[in-house]
Amino acid sequence: MTITLSPMTANFAAEIGDVDLTRPLPDADFAAIADAFWKYSVLIFPNQDISQQQQLAFAERFGPIEKERTLDPKATPSRFDGAFSDISNLTADGKIWAADSRQRMYKAGNKLWHTDSSFKRLPALTSLLHARTTAPVGGHTQFADQRAAYDALSDKEKKAFEGLIVEHWIATSRRRSGFTDFNEDEMRRLPPVPQMLVRVIPQNQRKSLYVASHAGRIFGMPDDEGRALIDRLLDHVTQRQFVYTHRWRANELVMWDNRCTMHRGTDYDDLRYVRDMRRVTVSDIANTCEQAGVTLAA
Ligand code: OGA
Ligand code: MN
């Protein structure tokens, strides 16, 4: 049986049916999924009652898995280690987190528009998020299409943005969401990194903006001007015509292209309801500047 494709819009977000991710995926089905992924950037797989091992096996077909943790596990213990990021509101022993927990303060940053791991020198290709338990109210995930947002720029803007390099830093987004409590180990592991403002998606040659709340400065521009431009672009990309809002059903898997989308979690009563979500992230092939042929100092 071949997969079924049900697009949400002409070029952005599609549901995939007739796939069983509990089983090894035939190559032809994987190829059809990959094709759809390059085109639609966000894929939704309903009714996938998969184990973490099965989620990981599917993710690995797209490339190497990101294993490095952002937070120091000693300062913030997690239910998972290695390949899995815990996107739930649960502590390491499975209880709803406390109002003042470090985990909760840090994860509040996920409510800002961002793309995963743009603050790492080697950023992310895709994240695959599986919902075990959903919140009955709220707790949606919104996605914004940075390719369509690029297409909608004026020719003058497209020309002005060509070749600009942006500094992404986890401390920039976390300062904005009220978390300043990184320890020395975390600060040392997570220095600011350069990324292109405009990138080309190799599979289809589409150009895309690449902004996120992690972005803070633009190289060669006064800090306040760079900040103002980044804020203007964050507003531009997240206009409603570029946004798809995903309302989760239990056992759904959603994967998104971190190279050309942003996402954010919407609010829910996280001290009352369990929202159990598990993420695996696949690394991109290289830093965006290196992909664009700009050589970076080591
Ligand atoms: C993520 C993320 C937002 C959400 O999984 O990377 O930012 O809806 N999730 O929880
Ligand atoms: Mn995220």
Strands across the sheet with 253-257, in order? 4-7, 14-17, 42-45, 253-257, 124-133, 276-283, 84-86
How far lies 13's CA from each of 32, 128, 247, 262, in Å? 15, 14, 13, 13
| Ligand 1 pocket residue status of 270, Cβ below 6 Å | no
Q: Is the pTM of this model over 0.95?
A: yes
Q: In the chain, how many domains are there?
A: 1
| Ligand 1 pocket residue status of 261, Cβ below 6 Å | no
* Domain assignment present for 297: no
What's 179's domain CATH number?
Answer: 3.60.130.10
Q: Which residue has the tokens 């060509």?
A: 162
pLDDT per residue as tens, the chain (298 positions): 699 999 999 999 999 999 999 999 999 999 999 999 999 999 999 999 999 999 999 999 999 999 988 999 999 999 998 899 999 999 999 999 999 999 999 999 999 999 999 999 999 999 999 999 999 999 999 999 999 999 999 999 999 999 999 999 999 999 999 999 999 999 999 999 999 999 999 999 999 999 999 999 999 999 999 999 999 999 999 999 999 999 999 999 999 999 999 999 999 999 999 999 999 999 999 999 999 999 877 6
Cα–Cα distance for residue pair 44/42, rounded to 1 Å:
7
Domain that holds residue 219: 4-292
Strand intervals (E) in the chain: 4-7, 14-17, 42-45, 84-86, 124-133, 141-145, 165-168, 193-196, 198-201, 206-209, 215-218, 243-246, 253-257, 261-265, 276-283
* Domain assignment present for 59: yes
Q: Looking at the CA of 119, which ligand is closest?
A: 2
User: In testing the pocket of ligand 1, which one of 66, 110, 252, 257 has its CB within 8 Å of the most ligand atoms?
Assistant: 110
Q: Looking at the CA of 278, which ligand is closest?
A: 1
Helix (H, G, I), strand (E, B) or coil at 200: strand
Residue whose Cα lies nearest atom 6 of ligand 1: it is 116
